[in-house]
Amino acid sequence: MGGGLLIFLLAGITIVFLGNRNKLKNLEEKQKLRNKIAEDLHDEVGSTLSSISILSNIAQKNLQQNQWEKTETIINKISRDSRTTLDAMDDIIWSVNPDNDSLRLVILRLKEFANPLLEAQEIECVFKIPTDTVNVVVGMIPRRNLYLIAKEAINNAAKYAQASKVTVEIQKQNNELILNVEDNGKGFDTEAPSSRNGLKNMEKRAKEIAGTLTINSVIDKGTAVRLQLPLA
């Protein structure tokens, strides 16, 4: 009787402990989510809005002085920055929606970004996604960072590579998700100093999700961006 009661009490304590641990874990995840949204809004939206505000004041002064050409240049800059801010806000809203946890929706969003961008420059775009990878579930922060790393790699290929073909491949290998974005462009020296923030942002995002980012580039042969992302 005493032994049965002891087992019953231990089972009850274990259930309570596991319940509290799960609650704590959920609270930590929610706090992490709030911090991430705040950081993204500050980094990707706040600075751009400040820039738009400053440029608007300058444009207003130029108009008062009839400096039409300078005003037009500033208005074009404001328009580009506004588009960038809207895109960033759209990415943030999409990333925090739990309905988008399926990798299938990440791939769909990447295609919606990549196809018009590359087709406008007559660059062939190929997606290679095995059927067993499509329904992999990815959490909010890993999903967002995976998407943004792929987006940055595609954008760099379109902007700098002078390529005729870009290939995007995502596959599951054991307990890892592997992203490869390759182009057949002019390549670049990965050891040379660079002012591009995009490469630094990709490295930062990979580190945030305990991923491994590798960038290989050969002059006149192309560039390959590879992300290895551990799955929980």
In 3D space, the residue among 182, 99, 185 whose CA is nearest the CA of residue 140 turns out to be 99
- For 82, the enclosing helix (H) or strand (E) is helix 68-95
| Eight-state DSSP code of residue 44 | I
Amino acid (one-letter) located at 129: I
| Eight-state DSSP code of residue 161 | I
- Write out the two tokens for 76: 């074009």
Cα 134 to Cα 39, 100, 170, distances in angstroms: 29, 12, 9
pLDDT-wise least confident of 36-40, 56-60, 136-140: 36-40
Cα-Cα end-to-end distance for the chain: 42
pLDDT digits (tens, 9 = 90+) for 96-124: 777 787 899 999 999 999 999 999 999 99
Which domains are delineated in the chain? 2-95 (no CATH), 100-230 (3.30.565.10)
- Angle between helix axes 140-156 and 2-40 (nearest 10 degrees) is 30
pLDDT digits (tens, 9 = 90+) for 180-209: 999 999 999 888 777 667 788 899 999 999
